[in-house]
Structure 1
Amino acid sequence: MSEARSAAEEDPAPAGGGPGGRTPGHTALLDEFRRHLRSTGRSPHTVRAYLGDVRSLLDHLDEVGGGIHGIDIALLRAWLSRAHGAGAARSTMARRTAAVRGFTAFLHRTGRIEADPGPLLAAPAPRRPLPAVLDEEQAHAALRPTEDDDTPTGLRRTAVVEVLYATGIRVAELCALDLDDVDRERRTLLVHGKGGKDRVVPIGTPALDAVDRWLQAGRPNWADAASGRALFIGARGGRLGTRTARRDVHERMRSAEAGDGVAPHDLRHSAATHLLNGGADLRSVQEILGHSSLRSTQIYTHVSIERLTRAYNQAHPRA
């Protein structure tokens, strides 16, 4: 992994705080747990979220009194019960459960507690809403030429949207791409996915053409020593960050009048759904998206079925 990529993926000091985050003993423990999470390949977003959850648990521990050795299943359930009573969503409860399971396993492995209560904690199954998906006409509209297409920013925005829609990769995966990850002969990208897992995904000719225009007329205007081998860079020369990439998508969609509020993940959802609608099999879409479980990919079949159901209800005389 290049130095530029490492710097871009380095997560900042966790936001928020609370008494647990400011207690010196807790601070040292949280720092060690942060390093542990990073070593397991967790994304910066997951690391921040888990640390926030564990901080909340340590705050609760301070309130009830007792040290780390006092963490048991009763305390964990009481902590989760408080969050539930405060109206935490099912998805939040599921994430908190996963975070604390990882934390208690870490405490047990490092000899801080005698037994690990984490496996006794049941996690609520989060309800998964159907993802927002563009129809194919909206997707085409987003990729039509715009007035600023000949500027470095416009060229990058077009290339970013083209690549996200063509490949279905995550925005963090797009930002982590290097120049050498593009294979024009095979029309593929080498994608650096979650947990340090690399995969090769196909990419269409229009997206490759947009990347080439960016490399020829956009990137050279900003490239400097800080750019390294990064495929996409910012105006100051460093590797493109996820926040700027999201803004690129928002602005590109707005300027193309394809809709406001469209995020990079909506393009990922749209790519997956359009692949299935076009006849791709579920296993192939799973590999393209980098899902470890087929269950994660199956949600897109529900989107396709919902579309078919609407068409059926509108068209069939006895629907």
Structure 2
Amino acid sequence: MPIETITKAGRKRYRWTFNRVIEGSDRIRQTKLLPFGTTQAEADALARQWESEIYAVASGIRQPTVTIGDCVRRHIVDKQERWKDADQRIGTLNKWLEEYDNQDATDLHEWSKTFVGYLRARLDHEGYAKRPLKDGSIRNILAYIRAAIKYSFKVGKLSKDETARMAIPPVNNARHNYPERKEMLRIARKCRNRQTRAGIRIAFYSGMRKAEILRAKPTKKGFLLTDTKNGERRIIPIHPRIAVLARKIRFTINPQKFSDEWDIARELAGYSKTRFHDLRHGAASEMINSGVDLFTVGTVLGHMSSVSTRRYSHLVTDRLAEAVAKIGRKKKP
């Protein structure tokens, strides 16, 4: 039986290997790493099952099973050059590879429920402590996997798309955190990295996303973005308070390093729950409170639809309420 014992991460586990020629066909090579905790008897049973499936496919008795791992690898090979977040996406997919690699890509419902439960759990399969993920992070992982399966269906690798049956946790992203200038400055002053410190100030005075800040080109007309989230070219005027930064700072920092420095700075400043993206909301709040209309705010932020800008509509309502409250008041002499 092609089962061997190996050591990985300091612990013993089993690996199954198949390397044979069946009935004159090309040589078939497959390798699967079994989960930690698999017993010898369980490993032998899985080996017999997998070998039987290979012979059934080779003899034409059944069609080969397309796994989620197959879909993910095809998606990466074909599409990674077009992904702006390629390193992050591939890193995330590789991290959880063992949880989906051998899973049938057309049998997703029960698997996705089990996978979500594991990501939320505080213990790994071996009973060791692990960090539970929040539903927002879980959604991102499943979104990468779902995109790979949909692509495999699109190119004909799968006969049907069953991604609608995936159990993906809902997430309410309606957060209302609008940092004021003093909060932004406190975090910036605690930041030890020059480029990240500059990025914090630019985010507040421009409303740009982190990825946009790192690739924006300063011009006489403003920060130029040729490749944006909505696919349109955009120019953001440069606020006088960051004009010097626009001239002197050139961002070469790794995005992950940028995020790490931000996390440290916000903790030191006492704003552990403030996200970098909240600075963008802060910029919108500042504009609206200064009398700028929602359409203009949406244009500055690069919203393709007014639906995205609508999250700030309550700020306008608050300002209008203040105006209405002044009706009938006598002016002070």
Q: TM-score, normalised by structure 1?
A: 0.59
* Structure 2 match to 1:58: 101
* Structure 1 match to 2:105: 71
Distance 2:222 2:279 in 1: 20
Correspondence for 2:283 among 271, 275, 286: 271
Distance 1:51 1:292 in 2: 33
- Match for 1:78: what amino acid? E
CA contact (8 A) 1:90 1:127 kept: no
Report which of the two structures shows the higher radius of gyration computed on alpha carbons: 2
**Counterpart secondary structure, 1:264:** coil
Can you list the C-alpha shifts for 1:10-54, whole angstroms capped at 9, x where unaligned?
Answer: xxxxxxxx99xx849987764432233424435233454456567
CA contact (8 A) 2:72 2:145 kept: no
Correspondence for 2:143 among 88, 98, 104: 98
Correspondence for 1:208 among 230, 243, 252: 243
- Match for 1:82: what amino acid? T
Q: Does 1:109 align with 2:154?
A: yes
Alpha-carbon spacing, 1:275–1:290, altered in 2? closer, same or farther (3 Å) = same
Larger fraction in strand:
2
* Structure 2 match to 1:285: 297
* Structure 2 match to 1:82: 114
Distance 2:109 2:99 in 1: 13
Q: CA deviation at 1:282?
A: 3.0
Q: CA deviation at 1:97?
A: 4.6
Distance 1:169 1:244 in 2: 18
Q: Does 1:246 align with 2:263?
A: no
Alpha-carbon spacing, 1:167–1:96, altered in 2? closer, same or farther (3 Å) = same
Can you list the C-alpha shifts for 1:134-173, whole angstroms capped at 9, x where unaligned?
Answer: 1243345567xx7999xxx65x455322212111212222
Correspondence for 1:162 among 201, 208, 216: 201
CA contact (8 A) 2:230 2:304 kept: no
- Match for 1:279: what amino acid? G
Superposition pairs for residues 2-21 of structure 1, below 5 Å? none
* Structure 2 match to 1:65: none
**Counterpart secondary structure, 2:108:** helix
CA contact (8 A) 2:109 2:167 kept: no
CA contact (8 A) 1:182 1:190 kept: no
Structure 2 spans left out of the alignment, 5+ residues:
1-12, 16-30, 34-66, 121-132, 323-333
CA contact (8 A) 1:246 1:263 kept: no
Q: CA deviation at 1:242?
A: 1.7
CA contact (8 A) 2:99 2:115 kept: no
Distance 2:299 2:97 in 1: 33
Alpha-carbon spacing, 1:284–1:76, altered in 2? closer, same or farther (3 Å) = farther
Can you list the C-alpha shifts for 1:88-116, whole angstroms capped at 9, x where unaligned?
Answer: 65434543553333122222233222122
Q: CA deviation at 1:132?
A: 3.3
CA contact (8 A) 1:157 1:252 kept: no
RMSD (Å) for aligned C-alpha atoms: 4.3
- Match for 1:194: what amino acid? K
CA contact (8 A) 2:112 2:166 kept: no
Alpha-carbon spacing, 1:252–1:117, altered in 2? closer, same or farther (3 Å) = closer
Alpha-carbon spacing, 1:194–1:244, altered in 2? closer, same or farther (3 Å) = same
Alpha-carbon spacing, 1:292–1:182, altered in 2? closer, same or farther (3 Å) = same
Alpha-carbon spacing, 1:76–1:204, altered in 2? closer, same or farther (3 Å) = same
* Structure 2 match to 1:171: 210
CA contact (8 A) 2:218 2:246 kept: no
Alpha-carbon spacing, 1:113–1:31, altered in 2? closer, same or farther (3 Å) = closer
Distance 2:308 2:300 in 1: 12
**Counterpart secondary structure, 1:164:** helix
Structure 1 spans left out of the alignment, 5+ residues:
1-17, 62-69, 216-230, 233-238, 312-319
Larger fraction in helix:
1
Distance 2:159 2:299 in 1: 40
Q: How many residues align?
A: 247
* Structure 1 match to 2:23: none
Over the matched positions of the two proteins, sequence identity in percent amounts to 18
Alpha-carbon spacing, 1:117–1:307, altered in 2? closer, same or farther (3 Å) = same
